[in-house]
Amino acid sequence: MADWNSERNVLTLKLVYYGPALSGKTTNIISIHDQIQPELKGDMQILETQNDRTLFFDLLPLGIKTQNGTLIKLKLYTVPGQVIHNSTRKAVLSRCDGIIFVADSQSNQSENNAEAFNNLIHNAKIVGIDIEKIPLVVQFNKRDLNKILSETDIKQRWKKSPWPLFLASALQNQGVLETLQELLNLVYDYIDTEHALLANHNLSKEQFVQQIVYGNVEC
């Protein structure tokens, strides 16, 4: 959940990139880091594990300074995809405000995608997250590769799901910011219920999304 520090007047949000191993979670974060204005981003830390990577992207001091002086800061995390790191996935997922599930578009990865999504549902329940209520966006990455599922096939498979669906190539910086924007739209509504962002902080949804993604931000 959003971390509100009333003494410092700072609201910190936690977003998590979840998915199978090597689906492009880290590449998504690197793409965001590369596309956001240099003066607005903090240090990126990549923690290597055997045959996989888990990444903590510290976006601080990226933030939105509202007219009443509230500073909204954003932290993006990825989880390791390998099963042996499940305890880490649960720890990172805990108390998050939004999730992007990064699936692998390659046709031979459908089973891994399904297992990872089922793992997300299972771990969300363990850490007290209602998967039906938490802001969640699904992204099918690696659209630049050969032997991938067709767009029609993907949409057919996910047509009954309630979550927004995006196609992306993180290596080519395609679909990455669009996926993040949609999650931010959902996160605004999710945290606005408790924190009344417009009423209490004079921050509209459009300002929240556009300023985080495209700048014009005071830190």
Query: Which is nearest to 80 in space by CA: 68, 93, 70?
Result: 93
Give, for all 219 residues of the chain, the pLDDT tens digit: 789 998 999 999 999 999 999 999 989 988 988 887 655 566 666 655 555 554 454 444 467 778 888 888 888 888 887 777 788 889 999 999 999 999 999 999 999 999 999 999 999 999 999 999 999 999 999 999 999 999 999 999 999 999 999 999 999 999 999 999 999 999 999 999 999 999 888 899 999 998 888 765 443
Contacts of 190 (CB under 8 A, 6+ apart): 97, 98, 133, 134, 135
Instruction: Supply the pLDDT for residue 215.
Output: 67
Instruction: Supply the pLDDT for residue 48.
Output: 57
**Sequence ranges of the domains in the chain:** 3-214
**What is the H or E stretch that residue 72 is in?**
strand 71-78
Query: Which is nearest to 29 in space by CA: 82, 19, 132?
Result: 19
φ, ψ dihedrals at 44, nearest 5°: -105, 130
CATH 3.40.50.1950 describes domain 3-214: no
Cα–Cα dist 100/97, whole Å: 11
Cβ–Cβ under 8 Å, residues 29 and 57: yes
Instruction: Supply the pLDDT for residue 218.
Output: 46
Instruction: Supply the pLDDT for residue 212.
Output: 83
pTM for this one? 0.90
φ, ψ dihedrals at 104, nearest 5°: -95, 120
Cα–Cα dist 15/180, whole Å: 10
Which residue type is seen at 128? G
Q: What share of the chain is helix, strand, coil (3-state, %, to 5)?
A: 40, 25, 35
Which residue type is seen at 188? Y
φ, ψ dihedrals at 206, nearest 5°: -60, -45
Q: What are the tokens at 157?
A: 């498979």
Q: What are the tokens at 101?
A: 């599930």
Instruction: Supply the pLDDT for residue 41.
Output: 62
